[in-house]
Structure 1
Amino acid sequence: MTRKSARSTRYPAPDERQPVLAEIRRQKMARSPHAYERGTAAHFYAWVESRSAGTLPEGPAVWICGDCHLGNLGPVADAEGEVAVHVRDLDQSVIGNPVHDLLRLGLSLATAARSSDLPGIITTRLTGALLDGYEQAFDDSRSDETSRTERPDVTRIAMEEALNRSRRQLARQNIDHVRPHIPLGKRFWPLSGDEKKAIHALFESGASTLVRSVLGKEVSGESAIRVLDAAYWVKGCSSLGRRRYVVLLDVDGACSAGGPPCLIDIKEAVSPTAQIAAGHRMPRDNGRRVVEGARHVTPALGDRMFAVRLDGCAAVARELMPQDLKFAAEQISELDAVKAAHFLAIVIGQAHAHQMDAATRKAWLNELRTRRPKSSDAPSWLWRSIVELLVKHEAEYLEHCRRYALQRPLKG
């Protein structure tokens, strides 16, 4: 949509956005059980709170993702452009029990399997593969095995696409490349005058030194950062309703020389739903909490993020790299579901393990193994938890669809 045609479109004003975004979120969550699962972190932790003490293993308190579903993992590039599979969304990151990440990932995989019409036996197998992969990340004797682990198709395809994408391709997908501006439409909405002023003030004055350092630019006497355009970004599922902006920056005149603009994603940071480990306190500023969590769980991403205050609101900003992608797993094969469980559990395990010393890693591995039966079957605590979560999730999803359908009667 061009700027000219966009002018005739009625976009919601900032104080009108919430009901529109809430409706988009409800619609997204009604699409499938797997789509619904992405927006239910609060339901997951309500279930966690209902567990009796000792029902779940209590792991060493480390920074966790907090909302470890498939959509929050994917290829992530570091500042030098090196790509690997990591956690890519740390909105819910807290110091907590690492088992919560494992269970949330297990529920996400099991839901994806059910949405792909896979038989229940696959859920059984992926549960065992999940724990095996997670334990492998803590077992130093299996480090060679970990390096040779085959990527499932869902990650291999995303990695190949990530490695083949260039910064110009990213720019073409998100902005009008004839003149650097953001095309308004379904994904991007115009900003109010106050929002524009706040964004210009953030990048062209207040945080310019910090922005330049995060972008890997040497700080010269005067900031050479110029805001080319900015828009409200209608993106995500669980985060829909929070402030979300995309900003195009010209840093040191790169665009004038024919280069692509720098793309910045700004997301409002709110209080976490994830359960915080007893005795630990989080930073009062939620933007700082998210950045700190990212630096521990996914350093490659955390080094590209910075906490900001935008018009008095805590937020996190990060540069969008061409290689940053999320997994698309609405349809997954039987073999790939099991492979994905094993591979992604290694990824999560490594994110936890590198925060522990050798003795703590060994003790945590021994704790997991003592709860595991001698057979290759998953331990009862893990299997029962995923089954309970699946049953609870299915009932909640159907109730969500019922309420959504009642708001939209069929037209005869």
Structure 2
Amino acid sequence: MKLPRPAERHALLIQRRNEKMARSAHAYVRGNTVQFYEWLHSQRGRRLPKGPPVWICGDCHVGNLGPTGDKHGRIAMHIRDLDQTVIGNPVHDLVRLALSLAMAARSSDLPGVTTARMLEEMMRGYEYAFSDEAEDTPERPRQVKAGLRDAVQRTWKNLAQERIEDARPTIPLGRHFWPLARDEKAAIRKLCETPELHELVTALKSRPNHASVEVLDAAYWVKGCSSLGLLRYAVLLAVGGDKDKDFCLVDIKQAIAAAAPRASRVHMPRDNARRVVEGARNLSPALGNRMFATRFLDQGVFVRELLPQDLKLELDQLNEGEAMRAAGYLAQVVGQAHARQMDAATRLRWRAELQKDRSKSFEAPSWLWTSVVQLVGSHEQGYLEHCRRFAMGT
């Protein structure tokens, strides 16, 4: 395989993103955030109820939730991708999650009535997170239990084989990793000499504060879908001396302006990387406390060490019961992330607002069902048009 030079990356990454989005309607929804935000800014999107302004994910689809480890080795289900995080309307996360679940149901060839029942379960799970009797750990469906079980058992070797395709201390260049330019190599070495990076990698696994940090290898990382084309790097480090040497994989990712609508008259960091880190610390503390923001080649980036326990949740080929349980569980995880930012009175008011606009026969609010119907239709149409343009070049 001929590896692209840095100047050739952009066109190839756009092609890669188009390929990913053409695989299924569900993949198209995950990769096409712009269409969702355009709908939110439309007249229909502006009719959604106004929730209390809190940090939201901004791109709350199924693939952006999953098992996440903290610096003490504990594992829990969290929102794990915060590129679009803003202080905004929590309803936006609900609608985005509902759209993602509806498309997952369609990809599993489940009937439309199952989608309706999933939305009912989703609202039950989300509202439960705001009740006084809510538990910190909701009951987990089978797929989530399996994912968490795998996460607990994973080691550095699993992470290396999955992310860099080899447990040896190198990053193999190929489809997923491309060569660096000279200025990128220099910038990575400079970043890895900073106190912030040293503090980050020694905070995990009880590594000694005085441990040495050595760059073993680095590469441009071809990863993600909607973020393809942004700066992203994988850096392999050795922490400690010969007797206690440990390896770690660091992810450096460019932060750009969020397209997600934000609340008016609220204070957020103006620097996009700092916004991402602040949002992560509010929504997913286990992840946010493993990140820091900095400048890299005149761009804002956020940096984190990847742990073997960090996994993406995959919901493939669901049956009706699994789909409903997954919807309720994931919505409760999102609800907990929102609820921890509200005081008791605000939680009570927000839960009461969510329980409006319901019929006797359908326990999800009418605005949620209407939104999902509109969005599924527009995304199905957009997906077919995307496939036609990509396949036929028109």
Q: TM-score range by the shorter chain?
A: over 0.9
Checking the alignment, whether the CA contact within 8 Å between 2:161 and 2:167 is kept in structure 1 is no
Amino acid at match of 1:164: Q
Give the deviation of 1:39 after TM superposition: 1.2
* CA distance in structure 1 between the partners assigned to 2:208 and 2:17 by the alignment: 41
SS of the residue 1:248 aligns to: strand
Give the deviation of 1:174 after TM superposition: 3.2
Amino acid at match of 2:76: A
Q: Alpha carbon RMSD of aligned pairs, Å?
A: 1.9
* CA distance in structure 1 between the partners assigned to 2:66 and 2:197 by the alignment: 29
Give the deviation of 1:376 after TM superposition: 4.3
User: Which of 320, 326, 333 in structure 1 is aligned with 2:312?
Assistant: 326
Checking the alignment, whether the CA contact within 8 Å between 1:75 and 1:325 is kept in structure 2 is yes
* CA distance in structure 1 between the partners assigned to 2:240 and 2:95 by the alignment: 46
Structure 2 match to 1:79: 71
Give the deviation of 1:171 after TM superposition: 2.3
Structure 1 match to 2:84: 92
Checking the alignment, whether the CA contact within 8 Å between 1:174 and 1:182 is kept in structure 2 is no
Amino acid at match of 2:188: I
Give the deviation of 1:257 after TM superposition: 3.1
Checking the alignment, whether the CA contact within 8 Å between 2:273 and 2:294 is kept in structure 1 is yes
Checking the alignment, whether the CA contact within 8 Å between 1:214 and 1:306 is kept in structure 2 is no
- Measured against aligned partners, the alpha-carbon deviations of 1:246-299 in whole angstroms (never above 9, x if no partner) come to 11111222xx33754111011110100100011124312111000000000000
Structure 2 match to 1:109: 101
Is 2:339 aligned against 1:353?
Answer: yes
Checking the alignment, whether the CA contact within 8 Å between 1:96 and 1:276 is kept in structure 2 is yes
- Measured against aligned partners, the alpha-carbon deviations of 1:111-146 in whole angstroms (never above 9, x if no partner) come to 0000111111101100111111111100113x25x7
Checking the alignment, whether the CA contact within 8 Å between 1:154 and 1:332 is kept in structure 2 is no
SS of the residue 2:364 aligns to: coil
SS of the residue 2:225 aligns to: coil
Is 2:383 aligned against 1:397?
Answer: yes
Amino acid at match of 1:240: L
Summarize the alignment of residues 9-408 of structure 1 with structure 2, pairs less than 5 Å apart: 9-51=1-43, 55-141=47-133, 143=134, 147=137, 149-175=138-164, 179-205=168-194, 207-212=196-201, 214-215=203-204, 217=207, 219-220=209-210, 224-253=212-241, 256-257=242-243, 259-407=245-393
Give the deviation of 1:80 after TM superposition: 0.9
* CA distance in structure 1 between the partners assigned to 2:287 and 2:202 by the alignment: 14
* CA distance in structure 2 between the partners assigned to 1:180 and 1:80 by the alignment: 24
Give the deviation of 1:176 after TM superposition: 6.5
Give the deviation of 1:374 after TM superposition: 4.0
SS of the residue 2:190 aligns to: helix
* CA distance in structure 2 between the partners assigned to 1:178 and 1:97 by the alignment: 43
Q: TM-score scaled by structure 2?
A: 0.95
SS of the residue 1:385 aligns to: helix
* CA distance in structure 1 between the partners assigned to 2:246 and 2:326 by the alignment: 35
* CA distance in structure 1 between the partners assigned to 2:132 and 2:349 by the alignment: 13
Unaligned runs of 5+ in 2: none
* CA distance in structure 1 between the partners assigned to 2:372 and 2:165 by the alignment: 45
* CA distance in structure 2 between the partners assigned to 1:176 and 1:116 by the alignment: 30
Checking the alignment, whether the CA contact within 8 Å between 2:217 and 2:237 is kept in structure 1 is yes
Give the deviation of 1:168 after TM superposition: 2.7
SS of the residue 2:47 aligns to: coil
Rate the CA distance shift 1:208–1:166 in 2: closer, same or farther, 3 A.
Answer: closer
